[in-house]
Amino acid sequence: MDKLPLFPEQASTFAPGVDHLTYFLLAVAVFFTVLIFCTIFYLAIRYRRRSDKELPHAPHGGMALEIVWSVIPFGITMVMFTWGASVFFNESRPPDNAMPLYVVAKQWMWKIEHMEGQREINELHIPLGRAVRLTMASEDVIHSFYVPAFRVKQDVVPGKYSTIWFQPTKPGKYHLFCAEFCGTRHSGMIGWIHVMEPQDYQRWLSGGAPEGTLSESGQKLFTDLACSNCHKADGTGRCPSLEGLFGKTVQLANGAKVVADEAYIRESILHPAAKIVAGYQPVMPTFQGLVTEDGVLQLIEYIKSLGPKPVVGGGGALGK
């Protein structure tokens, strides 16, 4: 049997940073644990009771000592905070060129969609050395996307999008776990992340997807749901044109401005009355119940593809 491992593999750019933080935390913890244990052990034996009539006379207070053992631990904890925060900050800011992927979590499976249209269930194939940004939605309850080898985790909450990013550094197969209790088969909602050499990944990708790319599926939905009746490309319809919308700042009827990101588009499809564009009437019906979370993501991809220039991470696997 292998030597019992204490740490999971380091397979992402985050992992070494997290592990170094852990070593520091461990060092402090071991130091203080040993200090307290040994001090108690020593004092208890050295000053053990030798007679029932003993009455110790010893100082039972000291301001200097209190200050020292308040200030020094506080200083150490501030280092811990800062270090932990910097690792966290890094994890919260995906690079602009990260490859976008979409995840829909439902009881009890992970549905993953590549831009090129590949759909995976409980598996995710990604190329080595490329940052990946997942936009995640849940169809039902709260789930959590957890890859121990990458040291990343993010809850997937119904009703909103959450994102997670990572960059794999080692080819191989790594556990994917759901880490938020979600019902009967919570412990069955697991899978694998397959990190492949770039050429292998290309080969896997070119296996193709029968349904077409994510954006093409979105276009089909756009037509099927009759969105194009109102959202005409030339802006002559009753509703704003969606050309080049993604990433633009939109002026709302109530005077506010908002950036048209994934969350805005999702809300506009499911709760259109929430934000009305200036100069337009609130005539759009809600599509809640008519389109799934998968469908919303496909529509978003399609809308992203419209217009003069592709934006954040848009395009195919190697797009910039």
Stretch 154-193 residues interacting with another protein (CB under 8 A): 154-155, 157-160, 162, 175, 177-188, 190
Choosing from 271, 281, 318, 319, the residue that interacts with another protein (CB under 8 A) is 271
Shortest distance in whole angstroms from residue 259 CB to another protein: 16
Strand, coil or helix: what is 260?
Answer: coil
Q: Based on CB atoms, which residue is closest to another protein, 178 or 277?
A: 178
Choosing from 10, 11, 64, 70, the residue that interacts with another protein (CB under 8 A) is 70
Q: Using CA atoms, how far apart are residues 176 and 187, in angstroms rounded to an integer?
A: 11
Check residue 251 for interaction with another protein (CB under 8 A).
no
What string of DSSP letters covers 85-113? HHHHHHHH---TTPEEEEEEEETTEEEEE
| Nearest by Cα to 176 from 135, 147, 133 | 147
For residues 282-311, which are near another protein according to CB under 8 A? 282, 285-286, 288
For residues 95-124, which are near another protein according to CB under 8 A? 107
| Nearest by Cα to 211 from 315, 101, 304, 117 | 117
Choosing from 120, 122, 129, 142, the residue that interacts with another protein (CB under 8 A) is 142
Q: Using CA atoms, how far apart are residues 30 and 35, in angstroms rounded to an integer?
A: 8
Q: Using CA atoms, how far apart are residues 315 and 84, in angstroms rounded to an integer?
A: 34
Q: Based on CB atoms, which residue is closest to another protein, 177 or 204?
A: 177
The mark string for 7-26 relative to another protein (x by CB under 8 A, - otherwise) is: xx--------xx--xx--x-
Q: Based on CB atoms, which residue is closest to another protein, 223 or 288?
A: 288
For residue 204, cis peptide bond before it (omega within 30 degrees of 0) = no
For residues 220-249, which are near another protein according to CB under 8 A? none
Number of residues that bind another protein (CB under 8 A): 97
Q: Based on CB atoms, which residue is closest to another protein, 7 or 233?
A: 7
Cβ-based neighbours of 183, under 8 Å, separated by 6 or more = 107, 108, 141
